[in-house]
Structure 1
Amino acid sequence: MSVPSFQFLHAADLHLDSPLRGLSRRGELAGAFVDASRQALDNLVTAAISERVAFLIIAGDIYDGDWRDYATGQFFVRQMGRLAQANIPAFLIRGNHDADSVITRNLPLPTNVYLFSVRSVATATIEPLRVALHGRGFAHRHVPDNVALTYPPALAGYFNIGVLHTSLTGRDGHDVYAPCSIEDLQKAGYDYWALGHIHRREIVFEHPFVVFPGNLQGRHARETGEKGATLVTVTDGRVTAVEALTLDAARFDRETIDLDGIADMAAFMASAREAVARARQRADGRPLALRLVLSGQTPLHAPLHAQADQVSEDMQAVAWEIGPDILIEKVRIDTTGPQDAADRAALGDFAEVLAAAAADPAFRAEIATTLADLRMKAPADAAALVGWTDEEAQAIGARAINAAEETILASLGGVTLNDGEPS
């Protein structure tokens, strides 16, 4: 029997009602972002209905963690109800953020929703389409096992989809979770792997298609650019199109303002206006949280650092000139002064000695051990809020070493320090 042609939507990592890191200090200015994750889910359901998709897949992390109250779950159920009224089934798995042991409240889901078991891999079929979906959710927040090897072989005569929350062989900025390789996925013989967990969109492989749709809504300054879901077209039993749909309700972005050679504030402000305008155009009408990075060698270096708070307020004022819904999330000052290069050269071999010490594996291992001890002592919720994944902890250690080196050189050579805020 031949497989009919159809389309489906693949989404993941909704992190519904996730607190938006980095904006809490901005008070009422962050208001446009508070409901962004909900609006993005509304956009996803609207897209599913308007595209008349055959079904929707959400590959884990629907929720950011345990619900603060039932309103989070009620909102999700209401959106699934909209799909039910349009006769669109939805297939869901639990990921690490909404693992069965994490979510303590529950609500009955509409009958169009199929939630895969957390105990073992299950198979759900859509007989009119000859589609078989194989998936499993997770009971626990940490899964070190390669569960891809437990997925059953493809069903003959069906279009087979694997649904899995995994880090694959690893991605920067994400904890290792249900690790596996492309070769492990290929063994099942499926036509498409609908993955979740990684927040950057990526078509990892095409034979078969292995896809991370990315998260539905950016949550902080490191999750920049367009976010959304993936629309998949299946024709005569094979994938013929994989299209990124932009569905985010608010946008995080980053612009670098090159101040190299700029010596007066008027020119700086003009460059700032251009940078903010570029970012606003990319946001395409969405509320925008923008991080500005000031770089380059400039005579303005010292006054910029001396008046960092004033610079931040000036940039917010510039942003409001460009648009009322632009929030300057942070201004990072990475400039250098005209004398910095000469001062560093005068330090001669001592800078090389510091660099060699900083690169010493034993020294870096000691720093890593200290950070790991701090992370273990910190409450789990606090570590999650800071965003200390294993990879981020390593990056924090590297930045700490670099910052220490900068401090020593600056104190010896009179160099004005850069802002060491991690990106």
Structure 2
Amino acid sequence: MKFIHAADIHLGSPFQGLKNIPANIRKRVVSSTGVAMKNLVQAAIENTVDFVCIAGDLFDNPEPDLETLNLAIDQLEILNAANIPVFLSYGNHDYLNAKIPGVIFPDNVSIFGEKVETKQITLVDGSTVDITGFSYNKRAEINARIEEYPSKSNQADFQIGMLHGSMDGLKSSEAHYAPFTISQLLAKNYDYWALGHIHKRQTLNDMPVIAYAGNTQGRHINEPGPRGISLVTINQQKQTDVQFLRTDVVEWTNVAVQAQKGMDLQQIISAIIQAVEPLAAQQLKLVNINLQNSNVLTPEILDELTSGIVLTQIQKQLDQEVFWVYRISLKVNNNIRIFSELDQAYWEKATANVFNEKKVQEKLGRLMELDFIAETYGNDLELNPLKDQVELMLKQRNALGDERDEN
């Protein structure tokens, strides 16, 4: 048995937040989820798979526009012409609703309903496969649906579980998306669990395989690195081989550059270009520069870095067909103090009280139900850039220096 496990394709993703991006690059970025879908279809045909599983969030929103719907229909029709069945469940982004009527899809597409159900397929070699799953009927699914999944049946040679949700405790801000535990999945005795919702590719268990395929195309800097699908092969002895197939055409990348005391603007620009140029690859690289030790730089240099002048110069000097440096993130070295001893003590106390997961999530409230908010502010690590930004602003304005005494 050979099949593709895919999830979180997010057709129609708007890719908001990229400022002053050239039209040709923007077009490549905006179309990237659709191209990733086409690459998925091509991979399924080239590898002569028995079927394709899409574990939620085929679309980025429950009301995709006509162009996005037609793209999905056309690609699924290509699989239909190749006699490749598709098993599709909807997730929290594209939950069951009248704006995505199931009747528009070709006959090879089987869509799971809001109740857990099992669909069976007979392969060319005569083997039978039970595939069990469900679709969201609303944006948030706070209930643990795993208990509704039946144990493995003796009526099929293989059984696959499809589940769009998050492991209990994996990420607290994700707990309202069909939470489960590994022990609950193992208790079902399935041969493979095809998970969706978490965009980072990861394997939670080896025998049987319980895995997230990750998303097919990264959509922001919190989704860096290669993205794609899993080509899964399971033999009659239940030995499983999982191969990663890349489908993305745009790769988000973080590049670290070390700032040094006394650096001028040209030295900083040269250091950044030298760090970026070796990244050349087939995929367009959208690069975020993490300028480490930024608090050793003078307030004047920091002003130039935050004004956008340096970023513009870098963009002009790099090949835009290969790279687009869209942001320079200034990072603080906490071992380097920029305040007096007394001010440093006040600063550390204030940041501990303000820049922590509990405080930020408390202020955000129900906004944490939005995926991009949860991804950005879901843990203390993601709050560090915000803290760094405030600290550097204080240095630029000399807020705890001479100006304080003049007021």
Q: What is the TM-score when the length of structure 1 is the normalising length?
A: 0.83
The amino acid that maps onto 1:163 is M
Q: Which of 137, 140, 143 is the aligned partner of 1:139?
A: 137
The aligned runs of 1:42-61 (5 Å cut-off) are 42-61=38-57
The amino acid that maps onto 1:42 is K
Aligned partner of 1:289 in structure 2 is 286
Q: Distance in 1 between matches of 2:347 and 2:118?
A: 56
The 3-state SS of whatever aligns with 1:26 is coil
Aligned residues: 393
Aligned partner of 2:373 in structure 1 is 388
Aligned partner of 1:420 in structure 2 is none
Alignment RMSD (CA, Å): 3.1
Q: Which of 12, 17, 39 is the aligned partner of 2:12?
A: 17
Query: 1:262, 1:268 within 8 Å by CA — same for their partners in 2?
Result: no
Aligned pair in 2 of structure 1 residues 150, 391: CA closer, same or farther (>3 Å)? farther
Query: 1:87, 1:112 within 8 Å by CA — same for their partners in 2?
Result: yes
Q: Which of 351, 356, 371 is the aligned partner of 2:349?
A: 356
226-235 or 60-69, larger mean C-alpha shift = 60-69
Aligned partner of 2:238 in structure 1 is 238
Q: Distance in 1 between matches of 2:292 and 2:364?
A: 29
Aligned partner of 1:209 in structure 2 is 209
Aligned partner of 2:259 in structure 1 is 259
Aligned pair in 2 of structure 1 residues 139, 269: CA closer, same or farther (>3 Å)? same
* 1:179 is the counterpart of 2:179: yes
The amino acid that maps onto 2:13 is S
Q: Distance in 2 between matches of 1:56 and 1:297?
A: 47
* 1:369 is the counterpart of 2:362: yes
Q: Distance in 1 between matches of 2:330 and 2:375?
A: 27
Aligned pair in 2 of structure 1 residues 363, 258: CA closer, same or farther (>3 Å)? closer
The amino acid that maps onto 1:7 is K
Aligned partner of 2:226 in structure 1 is 226
Aligned pair in 2 of structure 1 residues 118, 336: CA closer, same or farther (>3 Å)? closer
- For residues 246-304 of structure 1, the C-alpha deviation after alignment (integer angstroms, 9 at most, x for no partner) is 11121111111112356344543332222211332xxx212221111212368754343
Structure 1 unaligned residues grouped into runs of 5+? 1-5, 416-423
- For residues 316-338 of structure 1, the C-alpha deviation after alignment (integer angstroms, 9 at most, x for no partner) is 11222xx534222211233679x
Aligned pair in 2 of structure 1 residues 69, 357: CA closer, same or farther (>3 Å)? closer
* Per-residue deviation, 1:149: 1.2
The amino acid that maps onto 1:184 is Q
The 3-state SS of whatever aligns with 1:148 is helix
Aligned pair in 2 of structure 1 residues 221, 102: CA closer, same or farther (>3 Å)? farther
Question: Percent identity at matched positions?
Answer: 26
- For residues 6-61 of structure 1, the C-alpha deviation after alignment (integer angstroms, 9 at most, x for no partner) is 21110000000101132254251422212100000000000000011111110000
Aligned partner of 1:7 in structure 2 is 2
Query: 1:202, 1:212 within 8 Å by CA — same for their partners in 2?
Result: yes
The amino acid that maps onto 1:413 is G
* Per-residue deviation, 1:183: 0.5
Aligned pair in 2 of structure 1 residues 130, 301: CA closer, same or farther (>3 Å)? farther
* 1:249 is the counterpart of 2:249: yes
The aligned runs of 1:23-422 (5 Å cut-off) are 23=18, 25-28=20-23, 29-101=25-97, 103=99, 107-126=103-122, 128-156=126-154, 157-172=156-171, 175-176=174-175, 177-261=177-261, 263-280=263-280, 284-296=281-293, 301-308=298-305, 309-320=308-319, 323-334=320-331, 341=336, 343-344=338-339, 347-360=340-353, 368-372=361-365, 375=367, 387-389=372-374, 392=377, 411-413=399-401
- For residues 363-384 of structure 1, the C-alpha deviation after alignment (integer angstroms, 9 at most, x for no partner) is 98565433327x39xxx9xx66
Q: Distance in 2 between matches of 1:364 and 1:113?
A: 42
The 3-state SS of whatever aligns with 1:271 is helix
Q: Distance in 2 between matches of 1:404 and 1:135?
A: 46
The 3-state SS of whatever aligns with 2:225 is coil
Aligned pair in 2 of structure 1 residues 367, 225: CA closer, same or farther (>3 Å)? closer
Aligned pair in 2 of structure 1 residues 99, 354: CA closer, same or farther (>3 Å)? same
99-108 or 400-409, larger mean C-alpha shift = 400-409
Query: 2:144, 2:180 within 8 Å by CA — same for their partners in 1?
Result: yes
The 3-state SS of whatever aligns with 1:389 is helix
72-81 or 347-356, larger mean C-alpha shift = 347-356
Aligned pair in 2 of structure 1 residues 327, 398: CA closer, same or farther (>3 Å)? closer
